[in-house]
Amino acid sequence: MNQINYSEKIPNNVNLDDNRRLQRALEQWQPNYLKWWEEMGPKDSSNLEVYLRTAISVDSQGWAHFGHVKMPDYRWGIFLAPEEEGRKINFGIHKGEDAWQEVPGEYRADLRRLIVTQGDTEPASVEQQRLLAQTAPSLYDRRNLYQVNVEEGRHLWAMVYLLHAYFGRDGREEAEALLTRHSGDPDKPRILQAFNEDTPDWLAFYMFTYFQDRDGKYQLSALSESGFDPLARTCKFMLTEEAHHMFVGETGVTRVIQRTCELMKENKTDNARTAGGIDLQTIQKYINFHYSICLDLFGQEISTNAANFYTEGVKGRFLETKIEDDHVLTSDSYDVLELKDGKPTLVEEPALKSINERLRNDYIADSQRGVDRWNAIIKKQGIDFELSLPHQAFNRGIGTFAGHRFSNDGKPLSEAQWEQQKDQWVPTDEDFAYVASLMKPVTEIGKVANWVAKPARGINNQPFDFEYVRFD
């Protein structure tokens, strides 16, 4: 069961050949997917051979196989984490009952909505990253970009499988729609705003994989607690892939900071731009932007939707079973940061309605850990500068702070004050133009662009000067 069958048209570990109808439906979706990949996926990649990892089993040990793969021949498939015998629902009003193997009729709409929202983000990210290979700072980076792209493509497959297998005709329609909405399309945009933003350069890509893929980690973790077992198992396996995406982000930003500090010291300057690097102020502005749009991805602070998802047992909290409480939460409270008398203020709220906020807080703490590691690097280099996450209220588009202006440290501002000061907090056109001016592709084996350090190690114990991408 854990072994993946690669002799089939759609590799899978869900015994797809036992269900001809489903197999046929997915085989009909497959060419549409490939057409989308060709048109909206990584540009001009179809003739490249890339050193990619492919899942060969879903066990925690040895699931990955590494080898050069011609990009469109990557074997996207359907992989669920192993079934847990006797798994129960661990929260909400069904706590203690057997996990569902089929969709409960009364929760069908909620589950479909969650799966569609999750599924929508996966191809969106591939679309957002479509042009980045053209300016990759090394073959190593280019390979990592492609690895992330094929896995996000597979995550789309994971959600499409659930839609086809468990939601009948409207599931099939939703699966089609996942290929017709597009990132940034004014008529048919992606569902969540952060997935309609541009990812114009590699600093943005590293920030994306650090901050936005981390939202993936937290949302997938919450969904992997679901009482709907196929969803839980799918998300569990997706999480194993997510770790690499966040690694690309964290080490990417680390390498930029490392190089910036080196350039500042070598050239005895406070401004890395004069030495062809990305200055720390610009890095801070990118953090401010990406972090704040990702906080929106957790939804409203006070959410009846989230309370319902929890009570029904369809979406849990991060590491639900490790939390020590009753897992029903009807009599618990939670401190939520809200706008009160014009100021961000902690307010005690019912825990059930604060589920989104709690997940956001878990995310904030996790995001901070990387920032601390980045600061340690700057400090070690003897440079007097500290990066930080902006205040939770800063630049928000969803929730209590949306429609109001705040400084990076959370002080309320008038619209005029914001207009006057925002250039010090979010990247300006000039900042983008400067970073863009550095984005020259490096395609020589073992070489890296001047603005970023080489990684500490290569992929799968290969050296940095390995042919991670072969051009024909």
CA dist 21 and 164 (Å) reads 10
> Is 126 in contact with 36 (CB distance < 8 Å)?
no
CB of 238 to Fe ion, least distance (A): 6
- Judged by beta carbon, residue 245 or residue 360, the one nearer Fe ion is 245
* Smallest distance from ligand BYC to CB 424, Å: 26
> How crowded is residue 324: how many other Cβ atoms within 10 Å of its Cβ?
5
Smaller CB separation from Fe ion, 194 or 302? 194
From the CB of residue 402, how many other CB atoms can be counted at a distance below 10 Å?
A: 13
Which C-beta is closer to ligand BYC: that of 181 or that of 273?
181
Q: How far apart are CA 48 and CA 69, in angstroms?
A: 8
Cβ proximity to Fe ion: between 143 and 285 the closer is 143
Q: Out of ligand BYC, Fe ion, none, which partner does residue 311 contact, by CB within 5 to 8 A per kind?
A: none
What is the nearest approach in angstroms of ligand BYC to the Cβ of residue 113? 7
Task: Name residues whose C-beta falls within 8 Å of residue 372's C-beta, 6 or more positions apart in sequence.
Answer: none
Residue among 159 and 449 whose Cβ is closer to ligand BYC: 159
**Rounded to the nearest whole angstrom, what is the least distance from the CB of residue 231 to ligand BYC in the complex?**
11
Site residues (CB under 5 A) for Fe ion, limited to 213-232: 213, 216
Number of Cβ atoms within 10 Å of the Cβ of 213: 24
Beta carbon nearer to Fe ion, 197 or 312: 197
* Residue type for position 466: F
Minimum CB distance to Fe ion smaller for 129 or for 138:
129
Q: Which of 154, 155, 315, 405 binds Fe ion (CB under 5 A)?
A: 155
434 burial level (CB within 10 Å; 0-12, 13-18, 19+) = middle
C-beta closer to Fe ion: residue 45 or 219: 219
Q: Which positions touch ligand BYC (CB under 6 A)?
A: 114, 117-118, 121-122, 125, 152, 192-193, 212-213, 215-216, 219, 296-300, 303, 305-306, 356, 398
Residue 344 binding result from Fe ion, ligand BYC, none, given CB thresholds of 5 to 8 Å by partner type: none
Please say which residue, 216 or 390, places its beta carbon nearer to Fe ion. Answer: 216
CB of 461 to ligand BYC, least distance (A): 27
Least distance to ligand BYC, CB of residue 216, Å: 3
Question: Cβ 324 to ligand BYC, closest distance in Å?
Answer: 24
Are the C-beta atoms of 4 and 56 separated by less than 8 Å?
yes
* Subset of residues 332 to 371 that bind Fe ion, contact rule: CB under 5 A: none
Query: Closest approach of Cβ 194 to Fe ion, in Å?
Result: 13
Binding Fe ion (rule: CB under 5 A), the pick from 245, 259, 285, 353 is 245
Helix (H) or strand (E) holding 68: strand 64-70
The dihedral sign for the CA sequence 397, 398, 404, 407 = negative
Which residue has the CB atom at the shortest distance from ligand BYC? 299
The partner in contact with residue 388, picked from Fe ion, ligand BYC, none with C-beta cut-offs of 5 to 8 angstroms by kind, is none
Three-state SS string over 214-271 comes to: HHHHHHHHHHCCCCEHHHHHHHHHHHHHHHHHHHHHHHHHHHHHHHHHHHHHHCCCCC
Q: Where are the beta strands (DSSP E) in 298-447?
A: 333-340, 343-350, 405-406, 412-413
Cβ of residue 280: shortest distance to ligand BYC, in angstroms? 25
Q: How far is CA 161 from CA 61, 107, 150, 226, 343, in A?
A: 24, 18, 16, 17, 45
State the DSSP code for 334.
E
Q: For residues 325 and 319, what is the distance between their CA atoms, to the nearest angstrom?
A: 12
**CA 205 to chain CA mean position, Å:** 11
Q: Which does 118 bind (CB under 5 to 8 A by kind): ligand BYC, Fe ion, none?
A: ligand BYC
Query: Where along the sequence are the contacts to Fe ion (CB under 5 A)?
Result: 122, 152, 155, 213, 216, 242, 245
